[in-house]
């Protein structure tokens, strides 16, 4: 819990990459080629990582995630410290305790430690699910923006820069996408959310 959630940062990019790929399938049909000529592809490129890093909503999401993680650390700190103190005391006393008392004390401590770990995992999964929900809202806002830019530029293909090695003829539209996303959705609320049953996040709980 002490480190920033890598998952919370990366899922925001991963989902948007899939959004960009899906837009290729929904792109407007290319204009008919000239007689005897091959179809002309107009390629646009967007840096989705930079969109999330530079946009107001991306920065807002990251700030809220950091706040939720800090709140989780604060909420769990006293209980975690108490367990650490109890563990140290138990380790000092275990040699002089009667076997039945020792076994009972160890079993009781293990149960409380497991419950604490479960609580921490549940909070982490709730933060991750909240980040995913916020991402989906950004995707819903970003989709029409990307489609609009493609239509305005007469583009047939939209690529994510992270998936491109060389594209000398591609036009980078990242700046205009950030500008329009800032206007359409400057913030989005990130809330603790219970993961869907059966999901990987739910299994972490």
Indicate the average pLDDT of the chain. Answer: 84
- Cα–Cα distance, 205 to 201 (Å, whole number): 7
Q: pTM score, two decimals?
A: 0.75
Higher model confidence: residue 38 or residue 21?
38
Instruction: Give CA 36 to chain center in angstroms.
Output: 48
Contact in structure between 26 and 150 (CB atoms under 8 Å):
no
The pLDDT value given to residue 85: 96
Residue 140 parent element (H or E): helix 99-153
The pLDDT value given to residue 137: 96
Tell me what the mean pLDDT of segment 111-132 comes to. Answer: 97
Strands 171-172 and 157-160: unpaired
pLDDT at 52 over 50: yes
Residues facing residue 159 across a β-bridge: 45
Least confident of 36-40, 51-55, 168-172, 196-200: 36-40
- The position carrying tokens 């909070």 is 123
Q: In degrees, to the nearest 5, what angle opens at C-alpha 131 toward C-alphas 135 and 83?
A: 170
Tell me what the mean pLDDT of segment 165-189 comes to. Answer: 94
The pLDDT value given to residue 17: 47
Contact in structure between 153 and 173 (CB atoms under 8 Å):
yes
The secondary structure of the chain in percent helix, strand, coil, rounded to multiples of 5, reads: 70, 5, 25
Q: Please count the CA atoms within 13 angstroms of the CA of 78 that sit on its side-chain side.
A: 3
pLDDT at 16 over 60: no
Contact in structure between 25 and 159 (CB atoms under 8 Å):
no
In the chain, the DSSP E strands lie at 43-46, 157-160, 171-172
Model confidence band, residue 54 (pLDDT cutoffs 50, 70, 90):
very high
Tell me what the mean pLDDT of segment 19-43 comes to. Answer: 55
- The position carrying tokens 């530079």 is 54
Instruction: Beginning with the edge strand found earlier in the chain, give each strand of the sheet holding 43-46 in spatial order.
Output: 157-160, 43-46, 171-172
pLDDT at 30 over 60: no
The pLDDT value given to residue 23: 53
Residues facing residue 158 across a β-bridge: 44
């Amino acid at each position: 819990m002490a480190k920033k959630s890598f998952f919370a940062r990366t899922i925001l990019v991963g989902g948007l990459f899939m959004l960009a790929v899906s837009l290729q399938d929904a792109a407007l049909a290319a204009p008919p080629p000239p007689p005897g000529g091959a179809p002309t592809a107009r390629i646009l490129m967007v840096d989705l990582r930079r969109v999330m890093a530079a946009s107001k909503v991306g920065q807002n999401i990251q700030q809220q995630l950091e706040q939720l993680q800090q709140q989780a650390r604060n909420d769990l700190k006293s209980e975690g410290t108490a367990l650490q103190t109890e563990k140290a005391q138990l380790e000092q006393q275990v040699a002089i305790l009667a076997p039945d008392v020792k076994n009972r004390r160890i079993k009781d401590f293990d149960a409380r430690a497991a419950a604490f770990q479960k609580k921490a995992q549940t909070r982490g999964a709730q933060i991750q699910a909240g980040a995913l929900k916020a991402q989906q809202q950004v995707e819903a806002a970003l989709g029409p923006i990307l489609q609009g830019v493609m239509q305005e530029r007469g583009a047939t293909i939209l690529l994510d820069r992270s998936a491109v090695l060389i594209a000398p003829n591609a036009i980078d539209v990242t700046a205009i996408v950030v500008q329009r996303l800032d206007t359409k959705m400057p913030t989005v609320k990130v809330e603790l959310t219970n993961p869907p049953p059966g999901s990987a996040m739910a299994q972490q709980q």
